[in-house]
Amino acid sequence: MRDVTRDPAAVEPPVLSRQLRDILSLEDLEPAAQRYLPHCIFSFISGGVETNASRHENRAAFADYDFHPRVLIDVSSRTTATTLFGERYSAPFGIAPMGGSGLAGYRADLALASAAATENVPFILSGASLVRMEEVAKANPRAWFQAYLPVERGAIGALIDRVASAGFQHLVVTADVPVGGNRENLVRAGYTSPLRPTLKLALDAGTHPRWLFGTALRTLRRHGMPYYENSAAERGMAVFSNAATRAHLRDSLSWTDLEWIRDRWQGKLIVKGILAAADADKARRIGCDGVIVSNHGGRQLDGAAAPLRVLPRIADVAHEMTVMMDSGIRRGSDVIKALALGAAFVFAGRPFLYAAAIGCEPGVRRAIDLLRSEVHRNFAFLGSRDVSELEGRVMRIAR
Ligand code: FNR
Is residue 58, in this structure, part of any structural domain at all? yes
Distance 178 CA to ligand 1 centre (A): 15
Name the residue at shortest CA distance from atom 15 of ligand 1: 45
Return the ligand 1 atom nearest residue 96 CA: 21
CB of 102 sitting under 6 A from ligand 1? no
Confidence of residue 10 (pLDDT cuts 50, 70, 90): low
Q: What CATH number does residue 375 fall under?
A: 3.20.20.70
Q: At 216, is the secondary structure helix, strand, or coil?
A: helix
Predicted confidence (pLDDT) at residue 330 exceeds the cutoff of 80: yes
Is residue 199, in this structure, part of any structural domain at all? no
Predicted TM-score (pTM) of this structure: 0.97
Is residue 193, in this structure, part of any structural domain at all? no
Give me the number of domains the chain comprises.
Answer: 1
- Which residue blocks in the chain are alpha helix, DSSP H? 3-6, 18-21, 29-36, 39-46, 53-60, 101-104, 108-119, 133-139, 153-165, 184-189, 199-206, 209-211, 218-223, 255-264, 277-285, 307-318, 332-340, 350-382
- On average, the pLDDT of the chain sits at 95
Mean pLDDT score, 317-336: 98
Q: Which of 148, 350, 352, 354 to mutate to test the pocket of ligand 1 (most atoms within 8 A of CB)?
A: 350
pLDDT score recorded for residue 248: 60
Is residue 203, in this structure, part of any structural domain at all? no
User: What is the set of active-site residues?
Assistant: 296
* Domain span including residue 70: 2-185+245-396
Is residue 230, in this structure, part of any structural domain at all? no
Distance 384 CA to ligand 1 centre (A): 30
Cα-to-chain-centroid distance, residue 309:
19
Distance 114 CA to ligand 1 centre (A): 19
Distance 332 CA to ligand 1 centre (A): 19
Alpha-carbon span 366 to 372, nearest angstrom: 10
Confidence of residue 244 (pLDDT cuts 50, 70, 90): low
pLDDT score recorded for residue 239: 94
91-113 core/surface letters (b: 16 or more CB in 10 A; e: else): bbbbbbbbbbbbbbbbbbbbbbb
CB of 326 sitting under 6 A from ligand 1? yes
Q: What is the pLDDT of residues 281-294, one digit of tens each?
A: 999 999 999 999 99
Is residue 208, in this structure, part of any structural domain at all? no
